[in-house]
Amino acid sequence: MNRRISTIMTVAAIAVMGGALFGSSFTSPQIGGTALEVNADPLAKVASMGGLELVMPEAYASGPCSDLLDSGRPVVNFDVTGESVTLPSLSGDYSAMTFSGQIPGPTLRVTQGDVVHMTLTIPADEATQHGNDMHASQMSAVPYMGAVNIGETGEYCFIAEVPGVFKYHCSGVNVAAMDQHVLSGMYGITIVDPLDGYKRLMVDKTALQGGEVVKDKQFYDADALEFTLQYNQLYLTDGNYDMGKMMSHSTSQTVVNGQAFSYVPNEIHNLLMFGDTGKNIFVAQPWNSMDLKQHQSQLLFVPTDTHVRIFVENQGNEPVYWHMVGEIVDRVTQANRVQAQGTETWLLGGSQNMIVDMVFDEPGVYVAVNHDYAAIYSGAASVFVAGLPLDPINETATALGVVQGAVDAGSYAGVLGNPHDSVPPAGADSMSHPALNVHCMCTDDVANAAIENGALPLWEVIPAVLAAAG
Ligand SMILES: [Cu+2]
């Protein structure tokens, strides 16, 4: 049974129990009376728990791992840690909670039918227990889910039966403070690729034929250049999670892949465009400095006339009205079933996902937004540059002798790479990116691991290139 249904049944069971005790006069103030000897204000208790308090008979039972690991299906191991760390935000450093030192947590990618073997380790010096609720699974919350004790490792296994994008998130301390843990950064996605691969993409076009306008549908192979965008909110007061702001939906910052304005120009692009690090080329560039290293904002680069696939998840508390300024979304897919084609905007509620397929027709600068103005102005603006539209950069790149890489790639990713945290692990239908640069809302350890895996630390590479060019 799905664990959300199981939670609903828990609520139903409480209601039935209350009804039996109080008959038709059952009201919530009576629950708070002495008869049940529970918290005087159940709603306050639910609020302080961050959800419903479930009774966990065994802390993190092993689940069906013993059966599934030997089932003959492919097994994909997914090992994460639960770690509280300090990370930067627009309003200064804040107390973040992470899976494996990064926000979002690592992206898990499997093929439909694979067995996922998840382990969650809580380091001995961590301040709190954590859990992991993976929406790609279909298991009861009890007994397989629960808080993992400090200094211990929990595990569970499941078959990824349904293709698509699925959130995973910390379940707090047996649901207590779950809101704090998730909204402080403990979330990520599982991508379950369809067993028979992704569908080819049809794009509506017209053509002139003998003076008449006729339909001219364009088809693109399933292979695509892929990105992930995950939306959430930060609710902060003095660098700490503020539950009151969450309850009143008073967003402090809207984050995309863990950072407000994560994919906008920085001083590198200022320099390439204007020869001046201080001349901003976008309305909001809060992450300009090379000193910010992996936290410096970066741009997303794509060639034109290329199938682009974006895995989008709303991890947060507010709706996401997903729109690409300057383009039309050619297709929206959920669970490998097409939901829309040729749509301007698509709405994702909390814990909802989609796969966007689109082709950028013309060279230019496009902005993926949550078309809620409060969200745009608080961080949900992610800049895609399609093709090679920025002549000054082309000239600078030519002068530096690096333009050929961009021309070959059809995008500036051939010179600067794409931010590594926006690119999912490769699947069967993935096009490879020409290069990746190091960008993440993550610790230095995570950034260093990305460098070891070949991603470019632009805060070192660019000054070196410029110094070499004199
Ligand atoms: Cu947690």
In the predicted structure, residue 273 carries a pLDDT above the cut 90: no
Q: Are 128 and 150 in contact (CB under 8 A)?
A: yes
In the predicted structure, residue 302 carries a pLDDT above the cut 50: yes
Q: Are 230 and 165 in contact (CB under 8 A)?
A: no
Q: How far is CA 212 from CA 132, 215, 231, 249, in A?
A: 58, 10, 44, 53
Sheet holding 75-87, edge to edge: 153-159, 115-121, 75-87, 94-99, 102-103, 441-442
User: What are the residue ranges spanned by the domains of the chain?
Assistant: 1-49, 57-193, 225-469
What pLDDT digit, counting tens, does each position of 80-115 carry?
Answer: 999 999 999 999 999 999 999 999 999 999 999 999
CATH architecture type of domain 57-193: Sandwich (2.60)
What pLDDT digit, counting tens, does each position of 99-108 carry?
Answer: 999 999 999 9
CA–centroid distance, 34 to ligand 1, in Å, is 34
In the predicted structure, residue 300 carries a pLDDT above the cut 60: yes
CA–centroid distance, 130 to ligand 1, in Å, is 4
In the predicted structure, residue 441 carries a pLDDT above the cut 70: yes
What pLDDT digit, counting tens, does each position of 201-223 carry?
Answer: 999 999 999 999 999 999 999 99
Q: What is the pLDDT of residue 81?
A: 98
Q: What is the pLDDT of residue 462?
A: 86
CA–centroid distance, 104 to ligand 1, in Å, is 13
Above pLDDT 70, what percent of the chain? 84
In the predicted structure, residue 444 carries a pLDDT above the cut 70: yes
User: The domain 225-469 is classified under which CATH number: 2.40.50.100, 2.60.40.420, 1.10.10.10, 3.30.465.10?
Assistant: 2.60.40.420
CA–centroid distance, 159 to ligand 1, in Å, is 24
Q: What is the pLDDT of residue 34?
A: 35
Q: What is the pLDDT of residue 26?
A: 27
In the predicted structure, residue 27 carries a pLDDT above the cut 60: no
Above pLDDT 90, what percent of the chain? 72
In the predicted structure, residue 200 carries a pLDDT above the cut 80: yes
Q: Are 271 and 390 in contact (CB under 8 A)?
A: no
Q: What is the pLDDT of residue 404?
A: 66
Distance CA 227, CA 382 (A): 12
Model confidence band, residue 407 (pLDDT cutoffs 50, 70, 90): confident
CA–centroid distance, 186 to ligand 1, in Å, is 6
CA–centroid distance, 184 to ligand 1, in Å, is 9
Higher pLDDT, 58 or 290: 290
What pLDDT digit, counting tens, does each position of 118-174 carry?
Answer: 999 999 999 999 999 999 998 876 666 589 999 999 998 999 999 999 999 999 988
Q: What is the pLDDT of residue 102?
A: 98
Q: What is the pLDDT of residue 385?
A: 96
Q: What's the one-letter identity of residue 462?
A: I
H-helix or E-strand containing 355? strand 352-359
Q: What is the pLDDT of residue 67?
A: 84
Q: What is the pLDDT of residue 48?
A: 55
Q: What is the pLDDT of residue 275?
A: 81
CA–centroid distance, 190 to ligand 1, in Å, is 18
Answer yes or no: same fold for 57-193 and 225-469: yes
Model confidence band, residue 274 (pLDDT cutoffs 50, 70, 90): confident
For 311-346, letters b (16+ CB in 10 Å) and e give bbbbbbbbbbbbbbeebbbbbbbbbbeeebbebeeb
CA–centroid distance, 100 to ligand 1, in Å, is 11
Average pLDDT over residues 242-260: 97
CA–centroid distance, 75 to ligand 1, in Å, is 25
**Which of these ranges, 181-190, 236-245, 275-284, 359-368, has the smallest mean pLDDT?**
275-284
CA–centroid distance, 183 to ligand 1, in Å, is 10
In the predicted structure, residue 388 carries a pLDDT above the cut 80: yes
Helix axes 458-469, 267-274, angle to 10 degrees: 30
In the predicted structure, residue 439 carries a pLDDT above the cut 90: yes
**Taking the C-alpha atoms of 374, 377, 381 and 387 in order, what is their torsion angle to the nearest 10 degrees?**
130
